[in-house]
Amino acid sequence: MSTIEEKLQAVRRSIAQAATEAQRPPESVTLLAVSKTFGADAVLAAAAAGQTAFGENYLQEAIDKIAAVRLALPQTVLAWHFIGPIQSNKTRPIAEHFDWVHTVEREKIAARLSEQRPDGMADLNICLQVNISGEASKSGVSPSDLPALARAVAQLPKLRLRGLMAIPEPQTDPVLQRAAFAQLRVLYEQLRADGLPLDTLSMGMSADLQAAVLEGATIVRVGSAIFGARDYS
């Protein structure tokens, strides 16, 4: 058994434990393996262990990796999620290569993704990134501006608004972790009550995935706990 396979199994057990505690079926939580900075070989090892959803932050690295993985596994369907910041000049390749985008925070970016999504491809799944902790250094729409953005994005063709994403301020206290995720869940439920058919809460990473699952996460984004420490040198 590969190290990646062993780590995947451990993460899945953690998700299942949290889901059971929350009285949710474990399959209600999708594990998104964040493969940024790791090569196609790491993705192939994870795919061999049954992982099907992968998250990428760096666009050119991701495009090259997607091509390499598709060449190696032409019959395997994987879902690719873009989870990095989006610059206006990068929307076309994102629209052309990804199945999901988690980091939309402006209507302009959503409109460009809509315009540039190729004909014949399935609608691009969109999560709106919310700056839930109000940090000046963090990306994301403010909670007060979220409803207007959500209504605007929901009207755009070739996009499917699925839900919300957040990266709260890091906390080691599980109570504080859950409090931030609960804030995002309340916003999500308010939008659903207003008639938007959302089904996705993308929240929780390696250090806080259990708190996120307890508060309703449907996607958890886990990298280092699967692939190991990253080398940014």
Spatial distance between the Cα atoms of 99 and 31, rounded to a whole number of angstroms: 15
Question: Which tens digit of pLDDT belongs to each residue from 14-28?
Answer: 999 999 999 999 999
191 contact partners, CB below 8 Å, separation of at least 6:
146, 147, 150, 164, 198
Place 232 in a pLDDT band, splitting at 50, 70 and 90: low
Own/partner pairs for 66-69, CB < 8 Å, 24+ apart?
66/97, 68/40, 69/40, 69/43, 69/44
Residue 135 pLDDT > 90: no
Averaged over 117-145, what is the pLDDT? 92
Place 134 in a pLDDT band, splitting at 50, 70 and 90: confident
Report the pLDDT value the prediction gives residue 185, as an integer from 0 to 100.
98
Report the pLDDT value the prediction gives residue 89, as an integer from 0 to 100.
94
Place 1 in a pLDDT band, splitting at 50, 70 and 90: low
Averaged over 110-133, what is the pLDDT? 97
Question: Which tens digit of pLDDT belongs to each residue from 202-225?
Answer: 999 999 999 999 999 999 999 999
CA nearest 78: which of 110, 50, 108? 50
Averaged over 179-199, what is the pLDDT? 97
Report the pLDDT value the prediction gives residue 229, as an integer from 0 to 100.
83
Q: Is the CB of residue 183 less than 8 Å from the CB of residue 132?
A: yes
Q: What percent of the chain has pLDDT over 90?
A: 93
Q: Does the pTM exceed 0.85?
A: yes
Place 139 in a pLDDT band, splitting at 50, 70 and 90: confident
Spatial distance between the Cα atoms of 58 and 66, rounded to a whole number of angstroms: 12
Report the pLDDT value the prediction gives residue 197, as an integer from 0 to 100.
96
Q: What percent of the chain has pLDDT over 70?
A: 98
Averaged over 224-230, what is the pLDDT? 89
Spatial distance between the Cα atoms of 208 and 61, rounded to a whole number of angstroms: 27
Report the pLDDT value the prediction gives residue 133, as an integer from 0 to 100.
83
Question: Which tens digit of pLDDT belongs to each residue from 39-79?
Answer: 999 999 999 999 999 999 999 999 999 999 999 999 999 99
Place 96 in a pLDDT band, splitting at 50, 70 and 90: very high
Averaged over 161-190, what is the pLDDT? 96
Report the pLDDT value the prediction gives residue 233, as an integer from 0 to 100.
60
CA nearest 222: which of 9, 27, 75? 9
